[in-house]
Amino acid sequence: MTTPPAKPVLLTGASGNLGRALARELGAAGWTLRLTDITPFPDALPPGASFVKADLNEGLALVRQAEGCGAILHFGGVSVERPFEEVLGPNLRGLYHVYEAARREGARVIFASSNHSIGFHERPRGNEAKIDVDCAFRPDGYYGLSKVYGELMGRMYWDKHGVENVNLRIGSCFPKPIDARMLATWLSYADLVRLCAAAVTAPRSGHAVIWAASANPRTFWGKDHRERIGWKPLDSSETFAGEVGGILSGDPVVERYQGGSYPAIEYSRTAPSPRDAFSLE
């Protein structure tokens, strides 16, 4: 773990599974954390951490929490596919409040983006090339669409205001993979913590996008900006291949696309969409 940053770090979504893991490990490493979530923090506060209950829709509350912070780990908001109206407030308006707070403080934003921003890309077949982070966005639902919005807001705030941001396209962050797809997309909790630590403490990031997955030989994903922050994953899903490698969904839509079960939610096409996002065939 790197030396704790000199300034406090704001962590939104602190009461969620990933937020709790980050709070626990970064707090144990001596980081000064300001935790916030719409629901109470369920664990004992780590040393040097404080918690304030806040709604991402309330911009003033977020600005106050961000005062004096050097970085914002933004893991708050709706974290699964939900109807548009449920995603709209926390994931779109809330993200605007995060970036306005970062602009005021000169803070770096580490944004928990998602593979669902590109979930309608098909899985690579055989020796086909893996997609790089400059691929076309192909969100697989309203949740994924909100992550596209988040990455593009980061791009705009960097271009217009010089707000540095690191966008983590998180694959599947769980204690261990649970099916064959996750052998490609899995991110261990330990690799997540190391990734966030590197993203906060790197001397410079600019606008960066990183495939947030462990060192999985079966990955769907290629080049990104990880060298810019000095992150290298240490864990691998291959440890679990014998356990989960044969677990498939049985749904052709789920198995065709990188987003897994999300593209299949309310899917109404009679034939698959084209592999090229702008093609008719």
Secondary structure class of 241 (helix, strand, coil): helix
Determine the topology of domain 9-264 in CATH.
Answer: Rossmann fold (3.40.50)
Residue 4 neighbours by CB distance under 10 Å: 19
What is the model's pLDDT at position 277? 81
| Per-chain mean pLDDT for the chain | 96
Amino acid letter for position 158: W
What is the model's pLDDT at position 280? 82
What residue spans define the domains of the chain?
9-264
Q: Which pairs count as long-range contacts for 18-26, CB under 8 Å and 24+ apart, including other chains? A: 18/75, 18/112, 18/173, 18/189, 18/192, 19/75, 19/76, 21/189, 21/192, 21/193, 22/73, 22/75, 22/192, 22/193, 22/196, 23/49, 25/1, 25/189, 25/193, 26/193, 26/196, 26/197
Q: What are the structure tokens assigned to 179, written together?
A: 């099916």
Q: Is the pLDDT of residue 276 over 90?
A: no
Beta carbons of 76 and 97 less than 8 angstroms apart: no
Indicate the length of the chain as a whole number: 281
Amino acid letter for position 97: H
The separation between CA 32 and the C-alpha centre of its own chain, rounded to angstroms, equals 22
Evaluate if pTM is beyond 0.85. Answer: yes
pLDDT, tens digit (0-9, with 9 covering 90-100), for 183-217: 999 999 999 999 999 999 999 999 999 999 999 99
Q: Is the pLDDT of residue 1 over 70?
A: no
pLDDT, tens digit (0-9, with 9 covering 90-100), for 96-129: 999 999 999 999 999 999 999 999 999 998 889 9
Instruction: Write down the catalytic residue from 99, 142, 143, 149.
Output: 143
What is the model's pLDDT at position 83? 96
Please state whether 214 falls in left (phi above 0), alpha (psi between -120 and 50) or beta.
beta
pLDDT, tens digit (0-9, with 9 covering 90-100), for 42-57: 999 999 999 999 999 9
HSE of 250 in the Cβ direction (CA atoms, 13 Å)? 0
Average pLDDT over residues 22-49: 97
> Residue 143 catalytic?
yes
What are the phi and psi torsion angles at 109 (to 5°)?
-105, 130
